[in-house]
Amino acid sequence: MRFWERGQAFFLGMAALFLLFSILCRFMTGVILKRLLREAENMSATKDRTLRQCKLKFQSCYELNKGCVNTGVFVEKFMQGLRAGKCSLRFLELLSGQLLLLSVFSDGLGACVGLACKKTLGQVLPCYVQALFSLYLYFVLASLIDVAGKREAVKVTVTDFLENRMPVRIDRVKEDSAYLEEEEKKAAKAAGKEGGNAKQEGELESLLREFLA
């Protein structure tokens, strides 16, 4: 009896632990995407390192390909590269689902061990109840966190900025740079002419002094 009670407590505890880590992975992913969405809504002035790198890479691709960039593919690759530390967000999502399965598996294994020990259905019922409760709790929290919705919102916001606003900024910077470069050339040319006139005036003055001496 004591062996079964300890075994049941072990399986229930392991199942609860797996469920906790599963929810934490899902929650962490949701928090990161929510923060990224907030920064992406003001992407032109964002201080987020990931989004700034995204803008720089897009600018490089835009200039390298002379404006021909498949923004959808670019943003999709950007979304796949999102990370939390050394783990990608995609990996955290998959890990969350695997941990949920391990939680349900632990509950089921506890029930199977109980039945193998010739325990009654009432004695193994807590394992089934916890498995059902775990599934219900996980999917309720998953719908509240809404990782898929946040990911789609980030994707749409970043795509809109890169496709509709970033090219205008890049072209404007190019025009301003070309204008400044032209003005600098004109200023340098004018300065060269003034220097040449001063030199000629100096030579004439020397000749006049020699002639009048």
Q: Compute φ and ψ for 83, nearest 5 degrees.
A: -135, 155
CA angle 193-199-202, nearest 5°?
A: 145
Q: Which domain, by its residues, includes 147?
A: 2-212
Q: Which tens digit of pLDDT belongs to each residue from 137-173?
A: 999 999 999 999 999 999 999 998 888 877 777 666 5
- The Cα–Cα gap between 167 and 52 comes to 15
Buried b (16+ CB within 10 A) or exposed e, 185-196: eeeeeeeeeeee
How many C-beta atoms surround the C-beta of residue 119 within 10 A? 16
Beta bridge partners of 84: 87
pLDDT score for 210: 46
Share of the chain above pLDDT 90, in %: 36
Containing 88, the helix (H) or strand (E) segment is strand 87-88
Report how many domains make up the chain: 1
Q: Which DSSP state fits 50?
A: H
Six-digit token string for 75:
């943003």
Crossing angle, helix 49-64 and helix 71-80, to 10 degrees? 150
Q: What is the pLDDT of residue 58?
A: 87
pLDDT of residue 8: 78
- Taking the whole predicted model, whether its pTM rises above 0.95 is answered as no
CB < 8 Å & 24+ apart, contacts of 132-137 = 134/15, 134/16, 134/19, 134/100, 134/103, 134/104, 134/107, 135/100, 135/104, 137/19, 137/23
Task: Single out the residue of 137, 134, 142 nearest to residue 108, CA to CA.
Answer: 134
Contact 110, 8 (CB under 8 A): yes
**So what's the pLDDT on residue 207?**
43
Model pLDDT, residue 10: 87
- Main-chain dihedrals φ then ψ at residue 119, nearest 5 degrees: -85, 155
Mark the ranges of the chain whose per-residue pLDDT is less than 50: 179, 204, 207-213
